[in-house]
Copies of this chain bind each other. A is one copy, B any other.
Amino acid sequence: MTTIKQIRDQSPIILNISNMVTPQHVADAINFIGASPIMFDDIKEAADLVNISNALVINMGSSNDDDVEKSIAAGKYANQKGIPVIIDPVAIGASQLRQDNFAKVAKEVKFNGVRGNAGELAFLADIEWNAQGIDAGDGDGDLHEITKAVAKKFNCISLLSGVVDVISDGQKVVEVQNGHPYFAVNVGCGDMLDGILGACLAVDNSLDSAVLAASILSIAGEIAGESTEKIPYTFLNTVFDTLYQLSDTQINELQKLG
């Protein structure tokens, strides 16, 4: 059973190939839970940086040819070293380029975690979905099917984030029913979850760890939401404050699984 205490004790280094919009939020989220973020920007240091890291998180939110090459190089090193690789297929339905880029990376790199919203994971699972850039779920039977299908397809853990988070290893499906509507208002909360998932899988590459990742952010949101009614931007500030203080005791008390 992974705990947030273990993350703080081990302080895993999370290597990020980030998009250009949210890297500050992602690096802060990783830092505030007690892990340590590094970003990289040149394929020539892929081997060195993987060598000191405990997980690799690939965000395809602003992927160009360079990013694809970096992702493949670092992903292969990470696979060789045996550290988890997490991928986020940001808005994959929005362009052919995103689909091509994802396919190129998926062909060369074995993923340990895939994190996306309902629209993105439905696209990967080849299941009909009314996606348009960013999209929320509207049928929770379907969400289970989608999440399970993605996990099976890539033989890894998948995490579908939304009003309810759904996590699967291809066989079991777990819901994290905590959360807060203001996550959807702030840009980058999914990317933050990618980083937190990286830290959790770095400590233990298991379904339980992915459930912990979703719980950490969702429960921090519930706690933050108690003091931030009608101030949705201050909400995210308070989420960061809460992440730093969040204890396993709080997680165990507040966690609503399904």
A237 within 8 A of B: yes
Copies in the complex: 3
A13 to B94, CA, bound (A): 12
Q: List which A16-60 residues lie within 8 A (CB) of chain B.
A: 18-25, 27-28, 31-32, 36-42, 44-45, 48-49, 52
A36 to B61, CA, bound (A): 15
A20 to B25, CA, bound (A): 12
Q: List which A61-113 residues lie within 8 A (CB) of chain B.
A: 61-65, 67, 91, 94-98
A186 within 8 A of B: yes
Q: Inside 8 A of A231's CB, which chain B residues have their CB?
A: 238, 241
Q: Inside 8 A of A244's CB, which chain B residues have their CB?
A: 185, 230, 232-233
A20 to B232, CA, bound (A): 24
A252 within 8 A of B: no
A247 within 8 A of B: no
A91 to B188, CA, bound (A): 25
The verdict on A62 contacting B40 (CB below 8 Å), with A20-B20, A52-B132, A233-B240 known, is yes
- Interchain CB contact (< 8 A) of A31 among B32, B64, B187: B187
The verdict on A62 contacting B38 (CB below 8 Å), with A13-B132, A45-B97, A241-B232 known, is no
The verdict on A232 contacting B32 (CB below 8 Å), with A24-B25, A64-B42 known, is yes
- Interchain CB contact (< 8 A) of A21 among B24, B67, B95: B24
Q: Inside 8 A of A237's CB, which chain B residues have their CB?
A: 233-234, 237
A132 to B40, CA, bound (A): 15
A contact set with B: CB distance below 8 Å: 13, 18-25, 27-28, 31-32, 36-42, 44-45, 48-49, 52, 61-65, 67, 91, 94-98, 132-134, 185-188, 230-234, 237-238, 240-241, 244-245
Instruction: Known pairs A27-B187, A42-B65, A45-B97; list 19 more (Cβ under 8 Å).
Output: A13-B133, A18-B20, A21-B24, A21-B39, A28-B187, A28-B233, A31-B187, A36-B134, A39-B61, A39-B62, A40-B62, A41-B62, A41-B64, A42-B97, A45-B96, A52-B132, A231-B238, A233-B237, A233-B241
